[in-house]
Chains A and B, each alone.
Chain A
Amino acid sequence: QVQLVESGGGLVKPGGSLRLSCEASGFTFFSDSYMTWIRQAPGKGLEWVSYISSSGSARFYADSVKGRFTISRDNAKSSMYLQMNSLRAEDTAVYYCANLHWYSTNVWGQGTTVTVSS
């Protein structure tokens, strides 16, 4: 059974950094799959954050995080990461990792919570 598990969330002060991880299991085609991060702020809707190609050579970001967040992956470890720098209060959200197939996602992790507050 395909499973994605996020980790690395927590409480951080504005301006701080955090690195999220997403580990895939039972995901035979992980190295062939585009992957994405999607977030949901408290009481708000879903927001796409970033996605990365299967090889990791192509990376794309929402304008709201461009220049502050960096997506990466290690196919040998079936893992994806999101390095978040210069965090702001508005980055507070549940962060989900998911696969991406023709711009839709059918496998989601359970999410990890990031809280940016002083």
Chain B
Amino acid sequence: QSALTQPPSASGSPGQSVTISCTGTSSDVGRYNYVSWYQHHPGKVPKLMISEVNQRPSGVPDRFSGSKSGNTASLTVSGLQAEDEADYYCSSYGGSNNILFGGGTKLTVL
């Protein structure tokens, strides 16, 4: 199965909002509400930011939100802060017991 498609980079100034997309197909993102988003600072362990499309785990700031429309899921970071600069990965259940990841998006806070 193919990986999910994410833009390689995104950027925004402190305080602004930025949205990262994650495009799959009708067999994965479009079919299942099992889309997750991870934040990964280089050299550290990935951190779950959003599960099941729009569920925020305890401890994750409400500046982070998730949504889905058709075959595309999105992560929105509002009120950008310097510490939000990281790589972000989406993942989705792909059916047939497969889990797919996106290629990752490097978020730069200008």
Contacts and interface: CB of A to CB of B under 8 A. Distances in A.
Nearest to A106: B48
A44 to B, nearest CB: 8
A36 B57 CA distance: 19
Interface residues of B, number: 27
A108 B51 CA distance: 15
A51 interface: yes
Given A46-B46, A48-B101, A103 B36 contact: yes
Nearest to B36: A104
Contacts of B64: none
Interface of A: 36, 45-48, 51, 60, 62-63, 96, 101-106, 108-111
Q: Which 10 A-B pairs have the closest CB atoms?
A: A104-B36, A104-B51, A48-B99, A45-B104, A60-B97, A103-B34, A103-B93, A106-B48, A108-B45, A46-B101
